[in-house]
């Protein structure tokens, strides 16, 4: 809608104040463009595809050259240095190509390889360790940010666990294929009259393949089963391990005695199927988690410390000590709690207080970690670190709250708990029945009992949940909804109430102009405002649309802007800044944050702003209410603002001025009354409440700690993600229950067969594979219906869209 020129390098709008205009937004971008031209790499601009979700490629004003890269550098015997770096700013494959090419142009570099999935760079070079600064300089100059990391610390348990599962899967797959080949021959031979010696040879061969393979590939199950038994619990892995081990043991005994009942194929195929389920499950969640981690790493920034002698260095926020002086650049997130000693600026505190309009800060005021410095650089003296900061206070609250959630038992384990004893009892009863009543020799009775265990081994049961969950999380992942917790979807199906935070959750967190003003005044104000980063200025520019920024504007942080007009200075800012008397009110009674425009010789114009709801907030609330959810609005903002929004959206239950503790206590109190609530919030102040709610969601724009606390993180501007997540969770729940019903139905047919001693290896193999396939096919139905997404979330109400374009 705006035709403002876009920077040739970073594709961000160019303001008139730009020193490198009209093609570039800043001198950094101009330099980067020139450098690429010199190196003959300009084709990058043709190849790349900008991803709007990722930070624009604008070089940092202060080069991060002083960042200490050498600390995490390792050197091998041949004198080659290796370093792992996290790269921020990768938009597409062309970025990968550009980074690798830029680095490889340097003669010292031996290898530079970017992993596009994890956005990490592994760099190897020869020469001096400290050359690294010069080597990475061109990449930094392009606007990428490089953050050194220790791969050992980041190599999470999940990654190595998934690799182990994949190895087990490969081994089990190999063994299952070969054993099945031999078994089919044996079955065919049974009808065509295979000789006993050949059959025994095939059984021995099967044993040779299956036993070591099962010993290796079954490890994940055996470990989990032993862990569960140690804790005096029963999970799904206990009957699985027992079934597999007994089946193999009995088959071996049969083989030794040259008898026909060998179940090697059933045991190993069972492991193979189960490992597929486990691996897919782990991978889907791993993907969601790594996407969430990457979102967080974007915010993980080091802080700039100014030493007594004036030198600057970058350190990690947790290494700051009280008394240090920290520089917070404009637009940067403040990393520590401290007191401002120099500078005047606006601070966006919405993540902590929920207030959408920045507050003015000046020397002597306190600022908190997590807030964002908007308009001018600040020098801050660190007052609290570690456990004393506001942030760690909130983390403590959150951790306390999370302990309650850990008690939740997944449905699969609940089923296993009642299923396992029944199966074990049945098998025991079969043995006792055949031996004592049926009069069989104990070996044959034992064989029948073990057949019961094999046939009831919960293959389909154990696949029922993971397969559905994989498909559900995969579907949500494609819609930009990341499910982080294993039981989140199950918990989501239980909720009856939804608690929303205001700023940044129901609203966009960006103020919009709502008052009707004279178009000329608006245009002039927007021209002046185009020079500022203050959210109200940006709102003015958005409202005016296509404006050419006016030159000669100076900004007084926290107060306003002054432009040199033809007939004297034009002021844009707060009421006091523009020298307007308190009682000189204009015929506009809309409450809210405001800006005034004072032109010499003209009556002042007033602009009122409001933090507007997300585009689809209206329809989402409407849909949720129609479905009978009980909804509450909790905010740390002032009552007038909260009431205004609650009335707009038709929420009857709202609470304003809630502190983080209040919010958590409110959610806890409802939970104590047996209510299952979904908490949706984004601020640091919501984190404890997110942790103690039955289930929680957080937008991807949320504070780091809230994203950590939430079960589900959703990307994009649509609040409809809440409905989508609930829908998918319910559908998944239905499918899980159907799958359980199918498995039980299968057991109802096969258990009598097993108890009466009719199960042969062939029947066991057919029954097991077919039940697994049926369960998987049923789970795939979740996939098939995804072509018809929710038809309520996309509706944009006419009045809201008008407002956005006004």
Residues in contact with other proteins by the rule CB under 8 A = 39-41, 43, 93, 96-97, 101, 105, 114-118, 163, 166-167, 170-171, 174, 177-178, 181, 198, 205, 209
What is the closest distance, in whole angstroms, from the C-beta atom of residue 98 to other proteins in the complex?
10
What is the closest distance, in whole angstroms, from the C-beta atom of residue 245 to other proteins in the complex?
23
In the bound state with other proteins, the residue whose beta carbon lies nearer, of 176 and 236, is 176
Q: In what order do the strands lie in the sheet with 372-373?
A: 359-361, 345-348, 372-373
In the bound state with other proteins, the residue whose beta carbon lies nearer, of 290 and 392, is 290
What is the closest distance, in whole angstroms, from the C-beta atom of residue 162 to other proteins in the complex?
10
- Cβ atoms of 209 and 787 within 8 Å: the answer is no
Per DSSP, 332 falls in state P
What is the closest distance, in whole angstroms, from the C-beta atom of residue 43 to other proteins in the complex?
7
Nearest to 114 by CA among 100, 135, 133: 100
In the bound state with other proteins, the residue whose beta carbon lies nearer, of 178 and 562, is 178
Catalytic residue IDs: 501
Neighbours of 230 (CB within 10 A): 8
SS3 496: coil
In the bound state with other proteins, the residue whose beta carbon lies nearer, of 113 and 417, is 113
In the bound state with other proteins, the residue whose beta carbon lies nearer, of 95 and 499, is 95
What is the closest distance, in whole angstroms, from the C-beta atom of residue 47 to other proteins in the complex?
9
- Cβ atoms of 326 and 358 within 8 Å: the answer is no
- Cβ atoms of 324 and 334 within 8 Å: the answer is no
- Cβ atoms of 610 and 514 within 8 Å: the answer is yes
- Rounded Cα–Cα distance for residues 43 and 71 (Å): 35
- Rounded Cα–Cα distance for residues 305 and 320 (Å): 8
For the chain, what's the residue count? Answer: 806
Handedness of CA 669, 670, 674, 678 (dihedral sign): negative
Nearest to 326 by CA among 382, 377, 367, 364: 382
Q: Which two tokens stand for residue 83?
A: 């370093």
In the bound state with other proteins, the residue whose beta carbon lies nearer, of 167 and 381, is 167
* Radius of gyration, CA atoms only, the chain: 32
SS3 593: coil
In the bound state with other proteins, the residue whose beta carbon lies nearer, of 146 and 391, is 146
What is the closest distance, in whole angstroms, from the C-beta atom of residue 279 to other proteins in the complex?
12
What is the closest distance, in whole angstroms, from the C-beta atom of residue 173 to other proteins in the complex?
8
- Rounded Cα–Cα distance for residues 82 and 523 (Å): 55
Angle among Cα 425, 431, 435 to the nearest 5 degrees reads: 145
In the bound state with other proteins, the residue whose beta carbon lies nearer, of 167 and 417, is 167
- Cβ atoms of 78 and 142 within 8 Å: the answer is no
- Greatest Cα-to-Cα distance within the chain, rounded to the nearest angstrom: 114
- Rounded Cα–Cα distance for residues 517 and 123 (Å): 56
Give the pairing of strands 345-348 and 372-373. Answer: antiparallel
The values of phi and psi at residue 660, to 5°, are -55, -40
What is the closest distance, in whole angstroms, from the C-beta atom of residue 175 to other proteins in the complex?
9
Which run of H or E residues covers position 97?
helix 93-104
- Cβ atoms of 267 and 248 within 8 Å: the answer is yes
In the bound state with other proteins, the residue whose beta carbon lies nearer, of 153 and 784, is 153
- Rounded Cα–Cα distance for residues 479 and 791 (Å): 14
Q: Which two tokens stand for residue 239?
A: 């009957």
- If 0-12 CB within 10 Å is exposed, 13-18 middle and 19+ buried, where does residue 373 land? buried
In the bound state with other proteins, the residue whose beta carbon lies nearer, of 204 and 408, is 204
Which run of H or E residues covers position 87?
strand 80-88
340 CB-near residues (< 8 Å, 6+ apart): 361, 362, 363, 364, 365, 366, 367, 378, 379, 380
- If 0-12 CB within 10 Å is exposed, 13-18 middle and 19+ buried, where does residue 155 land? exposed
What is the closest distance, in whole angstroms, from the C-beta atom of residue 474 to other proteins in the complex?
15
In the bound state with other proteins, the residue whose beta carbon lies nearer, of 177 and 421, is 177
Look-up of token digits 């289930």: 695
159 CB-near residues (< 8 Å, 6+ apart): 286
What is the closest distance, in whole angstroms, from the C-beta atom of residue 515 to other proteins in the complex?
47
What is the closest distance, in whole angstroms, from the C-beta atom of residue 168 to other proteins in the complex?
11
What is the closest distance, in whole angstroms, from the C-beta atom of residue 93 to other proteins in the complex?
3
In the bound state with other proteins, the residue whose beta carbon lies nearer, of 139 and 391, is 139
284 CB-near residues (< 8 Å, 6+ apart): 469, 470, 473, 474, 477
What is the three-state SS of 39-66?
HCCCHHHHHCCCCCCCCCCCCCCCCHHH
Angle among Cα 614, 351, 298 to the nearest 5 degrees reads: 90
Torsion, CA 466, CA 470, CA 473, CA 479, rounded to 10: -160
- Rounded Cα–Cα distance for residues 451 and 440 (Å): 15
Look-up of token digits 């589900």: 712
CA 154 to the chain's CA centroid:
16
What is the closest distance, in whole angstroms, from the C-beta atom of residue 256 to other proteins in the complex?
20
In the bound state with other proteins, the residue whose beta carbon lies nearer, of 39 and 110, is 39
């Amino acid at each position: 809608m705006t035709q403002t020129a876009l920077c040739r390098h970073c594709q961000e709008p160019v303001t008139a104040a730009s020193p490198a205009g009209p093609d570039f937004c800043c001198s950094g971008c101009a330099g980067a463009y020139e450098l690429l031209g010199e190196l003959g790499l300009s084709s990058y601009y043709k190849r790349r595809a900008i991803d709007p979700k990722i930070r624009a490629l604008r070089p940092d004003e202060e080069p991060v050259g002083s960042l200490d890269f050498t600390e995490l550098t390792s050197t091998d015997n041949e004198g080659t240095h290796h370093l792992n770096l996290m790269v921020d700013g990768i938009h597409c494959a062309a970025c990968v190509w550009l980074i690798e090419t830029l680095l490889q142009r340097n003669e010292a570099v031996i290898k530079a390889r970017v992993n596009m999935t994890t956005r990490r760079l592994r760099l190897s070079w020869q020469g001096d360790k400290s050359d690294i600064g010069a080597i990475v300089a061109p990449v930094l100059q392009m606007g990428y940010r490089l953050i050194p990391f220790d791969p050992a610390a980041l190599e999470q348990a999940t990654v190595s666990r998934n690799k182990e599962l994949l190895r087990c899967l490969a081994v089990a797959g190999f063994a299952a294929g070969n054993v099945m080949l031999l078994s089919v021959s044996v079955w065919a031979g049974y009808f065509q009259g295979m000789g006993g010696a050949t059959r025994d040879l095939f059984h021995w061969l099967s044993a040779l393949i299956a036993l070591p393979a099962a010993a290796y590939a079954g490890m994940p199950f055996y470990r989990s089963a032993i862990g569960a038994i140690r804790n005096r619990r029963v999970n799904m892995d206990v009957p699985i391990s027992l079934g597999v081990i007994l089946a193999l043991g009995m088959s071996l005994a049969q083989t030794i005695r040259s008898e026909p009942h060998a179940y090697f194929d059933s045991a190993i195929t069972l492991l193979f199927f189960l490992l597929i389920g486990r691996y897919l499950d782990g991978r889907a969640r791993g993907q969601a988690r790594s996407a969430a981690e990457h979102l967080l790493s974007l915010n993980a920034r080091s802080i700039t410390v100014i030493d007594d002698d004036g030198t600057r260095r970058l350190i990690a926020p947790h290494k700051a000590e009280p008394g240090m002086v920290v520089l917070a650049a404009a637009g940067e997130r403040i990393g520590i709690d401290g007191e401002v000693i120099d500078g005047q600026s606006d601070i966006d505190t919405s993540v902590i207080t929920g207030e959408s309009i920045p507050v003015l800060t000046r020397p002597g005021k306190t600022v908190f970690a997590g807030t964002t410095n908007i308009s001018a650089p600040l020098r801050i003296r660190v007052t609290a670190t570690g456990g004393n900061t506001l942030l760690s206070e909130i983390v403590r609250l959150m951790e306390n709250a999370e302990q309650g959630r850990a008690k939740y038992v997944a449905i699969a384990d609940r089923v296993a708990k009642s299923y396992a004893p029944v199966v074990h009892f049945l098998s025991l009863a079969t043995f006792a029945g055949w031996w004592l009543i049926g009069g069989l020799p104990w070996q044959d009775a034992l064989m029948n009992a073990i057949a019961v265990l094999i046939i009831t081994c919960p293959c389909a049961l154990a696949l029922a949940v993971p397969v559905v969950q994989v498909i559900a999380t995969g579907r949500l992942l494609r819609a930009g909804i990341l499910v982080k917790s294993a039981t989140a979807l199950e918990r989501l199906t239980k909720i009856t109430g939804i608690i929303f935070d205001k700023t940044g959750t129901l609203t966009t967190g960006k103020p919009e102009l709502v008052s009707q003003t004279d178009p000329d005044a608006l245009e002039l104000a927007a021209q002046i405002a185009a020079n500022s980063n203050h959210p109200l200025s940006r709102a003015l520019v958005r409202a005016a649309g296509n404006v050419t920024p006016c030159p000669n504007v100076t900004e007084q942080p926290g107060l306003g802007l002054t432009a040199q007009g033809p007939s004297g200075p034009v002021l844009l800012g707060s009421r006091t800044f523009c020298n307007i008397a308190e009682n000189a009110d204009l015929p506009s009674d809309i409450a809210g944050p405001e800006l005034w425009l004072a032109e010499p010789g003209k009556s002042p114009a007033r602009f009122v702003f409001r933090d507007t709801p997300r585009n689809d907030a209206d329809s989402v609330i409407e849909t949720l209410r129609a479905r009978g959810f009980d909804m509450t609005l909790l905010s740390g903002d002032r009552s007038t603002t909260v009431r205004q929004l609650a009335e707009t959206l038709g929420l009857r239950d709202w609470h304003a001025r809630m502190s983080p503790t209040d919010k958590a206590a409110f959610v806890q109190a409802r939970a104590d009354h047996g209510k299952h609530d979904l908490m949706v919030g984004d601020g640091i102040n919501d984190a404890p409440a997110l942790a103690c709610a039955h289930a929680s969601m957080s937008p991807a724009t949320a504070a780091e700690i809230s994203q950590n606390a939430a079960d589900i993180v959703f990307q994009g501007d649509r609040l409809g993600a809440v409905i989508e997540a609930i829908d998918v969770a319910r559908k998944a729940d239905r499918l899980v229950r159907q799958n359980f019903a199918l498995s039980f139905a299968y057991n109802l047919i096969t258990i009598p067969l097993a108890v009466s001693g009719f199960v042969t290896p062939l029947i066991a193999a057919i029954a097991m594979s077919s039940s697994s396939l049926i369960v998987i096919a049923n789970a795939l139905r979740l996939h098939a219906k995804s072509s018809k997404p929710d038809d309520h979330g996309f509706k944009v109400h006419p009045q809201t869209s008008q407002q956005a374009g006004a």
